[in-house]
Each structure stands twice: as structure tokens, then as C-alpha cells.
Amino acid sequence: MTSSPVHKRDLLVKLTDDIDPYFLFNLSISEEDFQSLKVQQGLLIDFASFPQKFIDLLNLCYSEQETDNPRFLLHLSCQSPVLGGPANFSVVETNAFKHLNHLSLRLAQGSDKEIKDYLAVCLSSLKAEKQDLEMRLKKTEDDLSRQLSYAQQTLSEKTKELDKLRSDWTSQTSCLSSRHSLELQSERGKVLQSRLQQQTEQLRQELESAHKKSSQQLQSRLSELEASCKELTERKYKNESVIRDQKIKLVGVEEECQHLKQQVLSLRRENSTLDTEVHEKERLVSQLQMRVAVLEQEINDKDQLMCRTKEMLEATQQQKESVEENAESKELQIRKLEATVKSLSEELIKANGIIKKLQGEVRGLVGKIKVKNTVTVSQEKVLQDVSDKLQGVTKDLQSTHQQLITKNEQVCLRSCVFKASFLKSPVCSDWSHLRGQMLFVIPSKSHSLALARPHNLFMQLIHVVVHFNKRKSFT
């Protein structure tokens, strides 16, 4: 468990191999990562108790690795055939029905820097262990040598004591035997004295029992000393064998240390080359980051442009919908106007019949026109006014024609707005006005000379109507 300056705790998981020093997988789990892991895998513990529970699972797997059918297994799977890239580390419980996955962690392979740091830590730990072993070996040698000297000294003292006891025992036995012989000789001289003989016999028995007892004590003491001497010799041999084993281990550790020193030198050389490569790659990464920043700015600008374009499309769509609604309403008005134009065309046909009749009357009244010049002057003035009005109407028709052309172009751009715009033109009112003027200008039968100009007015008016019908059929 590691803690950051802002009091956030992280769980660091490292997977290594004692045989392969380059085998290294890491995983750092923060509290936020653990919450997502807890939701994904349905864990029932919190982040504080997760490390201990994870260690308990590993201990269960370790305790059952020697059994024939282990219940808990550790499973490491990699995506590639060689150990490269991320790996899945799982704790699996096996039974006869299925394999239950208690925990699954996604470990990342250690980078070159992390492997170097790990090897440096291993080397430092090996050095510390070597120093510890050397100190323990030296201490063990000192203890064993001290115990050996003490055992040898004790053995020499016990040997001296045994020799002394043996000499004492022999001197006592010789003294007792000589004393016993003298007493026997004295007692032989006193055979008749039974009491003295009994006392001598009792004394002899007591001396024999005391001699046996002392000899037994000395014998037991001698056996104890021999057992302790044998035990000390065995301990000496064992200590010597331990010293030999420790020396062999020390030689192996020194060889391994030399090998690790060579590896450290090679790793330092590789580290120098990798540092140069890292500097080059960092420079390349900085260039790529600048390019990415420029591209991100361009993407942001394009996103803003797309947003504005979408807004314009939405506004255009709304405008199109409103224009279509207006077009539908204008189509209804155009249909009404077409009905009115049809009725006007029928009236124009009737007017053509009237005009033909008037032309016949005009032929009969031509002779009378010459006589009535004075009336003609006044009629010419009226006709001049009517012609002026007709020119104005013609100009209005031309402007209306131009408006129809522009409306036709708007129809191509705004989907049938031409018909709606045509409704706003003043053609219908002009027709009714011209009709009133024509009826107003027609004189009585006595004014035959004044009918020539109204006839021209009707011809021009019919020509304009025909041109308008052709233009309408073309649209």
C-alpha cells in the first residue's frame, strides 16, 4: 500500500519470477479503480480490507500447490504467445461442476525503466542478504569456535577429574583393602572373642556397602562424563559440517554476486543507450504533441463551422417549410384567379363579337365621319387621353411581365413561389379598368369617326391578353 500527498491510497501489485529476472508485471489500484473493479466483478469487501483478503487468497493457493487436486489455482494468461503486453492474473476456485473466478486483475508488463529499478532493488537486496549471511556465518563461526574451545576445555577438565576420581578410588580401595587385611589379621588373633568378630564382620559389611556405593556413584559419574563427552564430539562434528555448508553457500553467493555485477555493468551500458533513445523519442513525442495540438485546434474550428452550418441548415429548413406553406396558400389563390381569368376570357370572346359588329357599323359610318370633324376633334382629345391611359396600362403590363419573369426564377429557387407572387400583380384590376375605359370610349352611332381608335385599343388589349395566356401556359 502506498499513499500520495493528498492522502489517497494505492495498492501496488507486482508479479515476478525468481528464475527469470526480466519477468515483471505491475498493477496500481487506486480507490476509484477499486470501486469500478468492485462493481464489475461483484466484490463484497471494501478497499481497506482488500489487500489482506488478496494475501489470504494467495496463501490458500500456496498451501494447496503440493496437493494432487488443488482447490485454488493462480492463472496467468497473455494475449500474445510470448510474454509481452498486458496479462490477466486470476484466482480460480475449481470444483467438479465449474471453475469459479474469484478475482481477475489486468497486469501491465513492466517497462525497461521499471525492470531496471526492479533489478537494482534485487541486487541491493542480494547484497544486503549476502552481507547478512556473511555476518551470520562469521558469528556462527565465532560461536562454534567458542563452543568448541569451551567443549574442549570442559572435556579436558572432565578427563582430569575422571583421572583424579580413578586415582582416589584406587587409593581408597588399596587403603581399605590394607586396612581390612590388618583388621582381619587382628581379628584372627581374637577368634575366641565373638563380639569383636561380629563387630568386625559388621564393619566389613558396612565398608563393603560404602565401597560399593562409592564405586557405583563414581561409575555413574563416569558414564555421565562419557555421555557428555560423546555429545560434545557430535556437536563438534555437526558444527564443522555446518561451517562447511556455510562456506559452500558463501562461495555460491560470491559467484552469484560476481554474475550480478557483470549483469549490472551490461545493464548500465544498455541503460546509457536506452537513455539516448529515450531523449530522441521524447523529442519526437514533443513534436508530435505540438502537431496534435494544432490538429485539435483545427478540429475545434471545424466543429464550430459544422455547428454554424447545422444552424443555417435548420433555419433554411424552417424557411423552406414556411415557403411551402405559403406556396400551398398561393396555389389556392391562383386556382381562384384562374377561374376569374377564365370568366374574363369568356367576356373577351363576347367583346370580340361586339367588336365585329362595331366594325360593320364603322364601315357604314365612315361617310358620316367626314361631316362631323368638329365632333372628331373633341373625340380625338378624348381618344388621346385614352391612348395615354392605354400606354400607361401597356407599361404596367410590361412591368408585370418583368415581374412574372423574376417570379419564374424565384419558383426554381423557392419551389413554386412564382404562382404566389403572380397573385400580387395588378393585372386583374388593370383588365377591369381597361374594360371600363373601353365601354366609356364607345360612342353612339352618330360618332362613326371616333370608333377607329377604340378598335385599335381593343386589338392591342386582345394581343396583350393572348400574350398573357401564352406566358401562363408556358409557365
Question: Which among 110, 137, 172 is the end of a domain?
Answer: 110
Residue 446 confidence (pLDDT): 39
Whether residue 145 is found in the same domain as residue 225: yes
Residue 268: inside a domain? no
Residue 107 confidence (pLDDT): 83
Whether residue 37 is found in the same domain as residue 77: yes
Whether residue 59 is found in the same domain as residue 157: no
Residues 51, 27 contacting (CB under 8 angstroms) = no
Name the helix (H) or strand (E) containing 425.
none
7 Rama sector, left if φ>0, alpha if ψ -120 to 50, beta otherwise:
left
Whether residue 81 is found in the same domain as residue 202: no
Residues 41, 50 contacting (CB under 8 angstroms) = no
Residue 264: inside a domain? no
Whether residue 163 is found in the same domain as residue 200: yes
Whether residue 85 is found in the same domain as residue 138: no
Whether residue 365 is found in the same domain as residue 469: yes
CA nearest to 421, candidates 323, 345, 316: 323
Tell me the CB-side half-sphere exposure of residue 456, using CA atoms within 13 A. Answer: 10
Q: How many domains does the chain have?
A: 3
Residue 412: inside a domain? yes
Whether residue 143 is found in the same domain as residue 254: yes
Contacts of 70 by beta carbon, 8 Å cutoff, 6+ apart: 61, 64, 94
Residue 217 confidence (pLDDT): 82
Local structure of 50: helix, strand or coil: helix
Question: Which among 46, 81, 110 is the end of a domain?
Answer: 110
Over the chain (475 residues), the average pLDDT of each successive run of 10 is: 59 84 84 87 86 88 83 80 71 83 84 85 89 90 88 87 86 84 74 66 80 80 80 82 84 83 84 82 84 86 87 86 85 84 82 82 75 72 79 79 76 59 49 43 37 45 49 46
Task: Say how far apart CA 116 and CA 227 lie, in whole Å.
Answer: 57
Whether residue 323 is found in the same domain as residue 352: yes
Task: Say how far apart CA 162 and CA 111 lie, in whole Å.
Answer: 72
Residue 427 confidence (pLDDT): 45
Let me know if 422 is exposed, middle or buried by CB neighbors in 10 A (0-12, 13-18, 19+): buried
Residue 322: inside a domain? yes
Whether residue 140 is found in the same domain as residue 165: yes
Strands 2-3 and 24-30: unpaired
Is the dihedral angle over the CA atoms 207, 212, 218, 221 positive or is it negative? negative
Residue 474 confidence (pLDDT): 44
Residue 328: inside a domain? yes
Whole-prediction pTM value?
0.31
Domain that holds residue 220: 127-259
Residue 196 confidence (pLDDT): 61
Whether residue 356 is found in the same domain as residue 458: yes
Whether residue 190 is found in the same domain as residue 328: no
Residue 297: inside a domain? no
